[in-house]
Structure 1
Amino acid sequence: MKHNVRLLVLLACSVVILTQSLKAQQMLHPGINQNAADLAEMKRRVRAGEEPWKSAFDRLKAIADTPFVARPFAHVLRGPYARPNIGGNELSASAEMAYNYALVWYITSDRKYARKAIAILNAWSPVLWDFDYNDAKLLAAWTGHVLCNAAELLKYTNAGWEQKDIDAFRNMLMTVYYPLLRYYFPEANGNWDGAIIHSIMAIAVFTDNRAMFDNAVDHFLHGPVNGSVFKYIYPNGQCQESPRDQGHVQLGLGEFAGAAQVAYTQGLDLFSIGNNRIGMGFEYTAGFLLGKEPHCYCTISERAKNAGGNYEYVYRHYKAIGVELPFVKKAADAVRPKAARNVLTSVRQFDKNAIEKSKPIRRYPLQSVVGAGAIPQNPDTAGAVLVLPGQSVQAAIDRAAGSGGRVLIKAGIHILPATLQLPSGVHIYGEGMASVLFLDPASGMRDAIVNKEEDMHNIALKNLVIEGSGNVDPGTDPNSNRAFKGRYNRGGIIFRSSKEGGMHNITLEHITVRNCTFNGVLISGADSIAVSGCDLSENGGNVIPGASLQHNLLLTHCQNITISNSRLVTSPYGSGAALEHCKQASLTRCEIARNGYYGVLISESEAILVRQNLIEGNDRSGVLVAFLYKGSNKVITEQNLIHYNGGYGLESYAARGSRYEKNIYEGNGTGPLQEKISEEKSILMY
């Protein structure tokens, strides 16, 4: 077995190796948003009257000169939509003012501002006992890193903060804040974990806890569900909350960027990972706010379409390292005249020589499959049986089967009263994302489409949507109808034969299948399958027969397979693509990302080619070639970008005659080993 592995280097080594090298080091102080050199440069620019820092400071000082008295609570309660809200506003305001005072103290050397900041921290530290209600973690995450930034400045600038009071603040962090935050909350929308990671990093710095810091970094890179930056920001820049509203999107982006800012202060570059993924998310969102219409695998929300205050640091960071983000610059320019602290804390002293030396050479084979899934078009209607919403799709298919075989599903929601049964020789196509097939939940049936005959052949499904959720309205909350909630049992396209090659010539082209708790597409016993330009997402829940057994795409006992230019993403409990007992298959130029199990799962198969795919952010290994009884044979995995998966980049057991070469690995797992290639007949027991 030949292994020609190319490890992509980040800042002279991979993020994982760099993280390990940092473990033995002490935390840098001051070291949360800025280090000592950054703070000194910020102070110099303000005192020299340089803009925009001088005006930003004037605005900050005006805020600091307004009367403020901290009102601490023992029990801070914040429910959804701030109902109830007992002590939440007071804590948030206290955190903000403490940081404001601390910065003004540092710049002016006027101790009255230091005393004000210290008074706030000293007021809350002995009083706060706990948080409660729906937003408990979120409120703690919003305020934790702000309080820590204030405390870090006071502790390391001779501000007069007594050691007993520092100890009391540390006690509050470690007995109130950290116990609440330490388990994260990836089941919520991604802005929650972005904020939690941000605050845990800040707490780790202030308390000199390297293990805590490393844990937050690992969650940033590999957190499940909505927990990591790769779960939140997709390869095209779209964000997990893009269908919700742009306020929450900017909140989430800001928290992940804030966490990356803390990490950068400590010598770890999380901004460059994933082809500058944070910058891509900001640029995508800023472009939309400023009038661009980006491609979105959802209905992008027009709500809260106003630029927030987190653009300044992101713009200046990427500009300093030579990455141009024109829409981010425009957003920062628009917000800057009213901004205060964000402008000041964006001052960073970059070592340009170190930046040049650490720039990796990236030859990424693929960034994203923009446009996969159903696409708008003006379909050819000549000779087709047309189906309008409300008309019987099954009747149209049965009619077409004896008269040319073409069925056009017109735009609209087509509610199927029963599972659709496909005969041979039928070509069914739609008008893009507007043509939706939806199995009526009242039917009591699970699967949207099945084969009518065991020897079904010469069929094609093109350019339409199969909606697998219990409701055709996705709502504005991207978590509301997710398959992982498991309140229903639904399958998408399920074709089965009881013999090898029993079905043949099956084409799926520009099909969107989403939100099925069973498999999105399951084909068993077929010869000659073509899957191209499809978007299979959020399929494969934990319904019976259980988690890890249903996937976005599952092929069993099939041969002569091509899967190309498709998205196989975000299966809650399954893999992007699973091939079992298959022969002669190629999986090329696909985005296989954010799946709850493996990216690609291959078992007991032969002559499988996995080439030029983007495989990222899957909870286990990017690719697993599993051994069950005889193992697989002639698996070739080459020229893929496999990064930031929770397990290995590639894991293989007893795969005979196989080659894994010219893959690009980065940041997989928690150790430096990116591949596990074993000749042992090891059966994974989980």
Structure 2
Amino acid sequence: MSPTMLNTPVPPRHRRRSRFALVGTVAALLAGALAWPAADRAEAAPATFTHPGVTVSRGQLDFARQQVNAGAQPWKGAYDQMLASKYGSLTRTPKPRAVVECGSYSNPNNGCTDEREDAIAAYTQALAWYVTRDARYARKAIELMDAWSATIRDHTNSNAPLQTGWAGSSWPKAAEIIKYTYDGGWANSGRFSTMLRTVYLPEIINGSNSNGNWELSMMEAAVGISVFLEDKASYDKAMAKFRTRTAAFVYLSSDGALPKTVPSQNLDTPQKIINYWQGQSTFVNGLTQETCRDLTHTGYGISAISHVAETSRIQGQDLYGTDVGERLRHALGFQAKHQLGEAPPSWLCGGTLHLGLGPITEVGHNALSNRLGHVMTNTERLTQQNRPSGSNNLFVAWETLTHGDNPN
């Protein structure tokens, strides 16, 4: 696949296409970047929401439970890793705050780590409950959720939207499992719903004009919260923003000479777009808006894309067969080959990449390779190499257990 190049040397075999891009008017270039075909628009919320239905379904949970209880690998090893982690402890004490203050890179960090990790712990305990049917885990998940719903009132400082997105991605995953599979009762589930509706959703639903991983994580949270609240209007709004941002985060050659953009960001010249893409002026399938920043933040965005696509599939509106799946497939493959050690060419990020993709490949690999049959050699190799995948301690956790080679 040949790259689309701007302000870079053009090999002879690419000259015709690149010369057209270079001599075309700015308006023509931007028309391709800003165009939004009707086929790419988000689908409406389902008539009836499926529960549990945020990232992981009942069928997927049943499969994971069966495999763990049979001692099958890699699921048993993944479960043991999860339970041995700090998130699996039955003696964990929640650390809620009324106001969580998070500055850039969580400095200051007033409750940021505590909130994210308590949310992951609630999800961990909910998974442990489902696998074991030991009510102690369900009660611990409820204790963690109740402590925060009784206390938190706001998120502040510059990282407030991102922090809310990260924690807000884990809370509904935990809540869905407990509310819809635990028959021991959850007296304060209504208060937890109010917390999601009044503290979390307003902070994230209108999106962000920062780097793409911000809005993708925020929309992951907004979609998950909307499922739990059965809020169709918020689901539709979040999904529409997700579709627009996904197209602006992962480049496909079908986008044209330039990547697509989010209209509210006013990236209305080629140079503005290049600057936003970390100075990258050569565009190839699977390159992301943050690849030249580092693969860690790129992984955050890719993970959020896979999580929303998986939630949408559970809700009966499969995005994997749309441009979302195509962008996810190429993004995984492009980043995976470099994470595995392939040296970047000189045109890519000046020949230097900062690695650290994280445990984010299981969901997309299972959906696109196992279910749809796409050949994803690099992604599969990296997925196998990383098993059992753990947590990034932000919003990703235990995906070998829940999605590794899961047929459901």
Q: Give the TM-score normalised by structure 2.
A: 0.76
- 2:25 aligns with none
Partner residue in 1 for 2:204: 181
Q: Does residue 164 of structure 2 align to residue 140 of structure 1?
A: yes
1:281 to 331, 342, 352: 331
Distance 1:301 1:191 in 2: 23
Residues 371-520 of structure 1: pairs in structure 2 closer than 5 A: none
* Counterpart-to-counterpart distance in 1, 2:153 and 2:329: 38
Whether the 8 Å CA contact 2:90–2:137 is kept in 1: the answer is: no
Deviation at 1:60, TM superposition (A): 1.2
2:246–2:305 Cα contact (<8 Å) kept: yes
Consecutive unaligned residues in structure 1, runs of 5 or more? 1-12, 223-227, 352-686
Give the whole-Å Cα distance in 1 for the aligned partners of 2:300 and 2:293. Answer: 12
- Which of 289, 314, 322 is 2:364 aligned to? 314
Q: Deviations over 1:454-480 (max 9, x none)?
A: xxxxxxxxxxxxxxxxxxxxxxxxxxx
- Structure 2 match to 1:99: 123
Equivalent AA in structure 2 for residue 101 of structure 1: Q
Q: Which residue of 1 aligns with 2:385?
A: 334
Q: What is the match of residue 410 of structure 1?
A: none
Match of 2:246 in 1: 229
**Equivalent AA in structure 2 for residue 239 of structure 1:** T
One-letter identity of the residue aligned with 2:177? L
Give the AA of the match of 1:173. Answer: L
More helix by share: 2
1:209 lines up with 2:266 in the alignment? no
Displacement of 1:297: 6.4
> Over residues 470-520 of structure 1, what are the superposed CA-to-partner deviations in whole Å (9 max), with x where a residue is unaligned?
xxxxxxxxxxxxxxxxxxxxxxxxxxxxxxxxxxxxxxxxxxxxxxxxxxx
Amino acid at match of 1:167: G
Counterpart of 1:129?
A: 153
In structure 2, how many angstroms separate the alpha carbons of the residues matched to 1:237 and 1:295?
A: 15
Equivalent position amino acid for 2:221 in 1: S
2:219 to 192, 197, 218: 197
Instruction: Provide the secondary structure at the position in 1 that maps to 2:100.
Output: strand
Give 1:337 shift: 3.7
Instruction: Indicate conservation of the 8 Å contact 1:246/1:301, yes or no.
Output: no
Q: CA deviation at 1:338?
A: 5.2
What is the number of residues matched between the two proteins?
329
More strand by share: 1
* Distance (Å, rounded) in 1 between the aligned partners of 2:399 and 2:406: 16
Encode CA deviations 1:538-578: one digit per residue, 9 max, x unaligned: xxxxxxxxxxxxxxxxxxxxxxxxxxxxxxxxxxxxxxxxx
Identity, % of aligned positions = 29
Cα 1:49–1:169 shift into 2, 3 Å: same
For the 8 Å contact 1:244–1:301, the answer to whether it is kept is no
Question: Do the aligned residues in 2 keep the contact of 1:237 with 1:280 (CA within 8 Å)?
Answer: yes
**Counterpart-to-counterpart distance in 2, 1:84 and 1:161:** 37
Counterpart amino acid of residue 161 in structure 2: K
- State the shift of 1:307 in Å: 3.8
In structure 2, the residue matched to 1:266 is: 315
Say if 1:34 and 1:348, in contact at 8 Å, map to a contact too. Answer: no
> Which amino acid letter does the alignment assign opposite residue 46 of structure 1?
V
Normalization by structure 1: what TM-score? 0.46
CA distance in 2, matches of 1:272, 1:162: 37
Residue identity opposite 2:153 in structure 1: W
2:182 alignment partner in structure 1:
158
Structure 2: unaligned runs, 5 residues or longer: 1-37, 253-284, 391-396
User: What corresponds to 2:401 in structure 1?
Assistant: 344
Q: Distance in 2 between the 1:348 and 1:27 partners?
A: 25
The Cα of 1:104 is off from its aligned counterpart by: 0.2
- Candidates 368, 375, 378, aligned match of 1:324: 375
* Cα distance in structure 2, aligned partners of 1:317 and 1:101: 25
Does 2:96 align with 1:72?
A: yes
- Aligned residues of 2:68 and 2:76 also touching (Cα < 8 A): yes
What is the distance in 2 between the residues matched to 1:214 and 1:266?
12
Which is higher, the Rg of structure 1 or of structure 2?
1
Partner amino acid, structure 2, of 1:219: K
Q: Which amino acid aligns with 2:241?
A: H
Change (3 A) 1:296 1:98: farther
Match of 2:312, as an amino acid?
A: A
1:306 Cα deviation after fit: 2.8
Q: Higher relative contact order by CA 8 Å / sep ≥ 6: 1 or 2?
A: 2
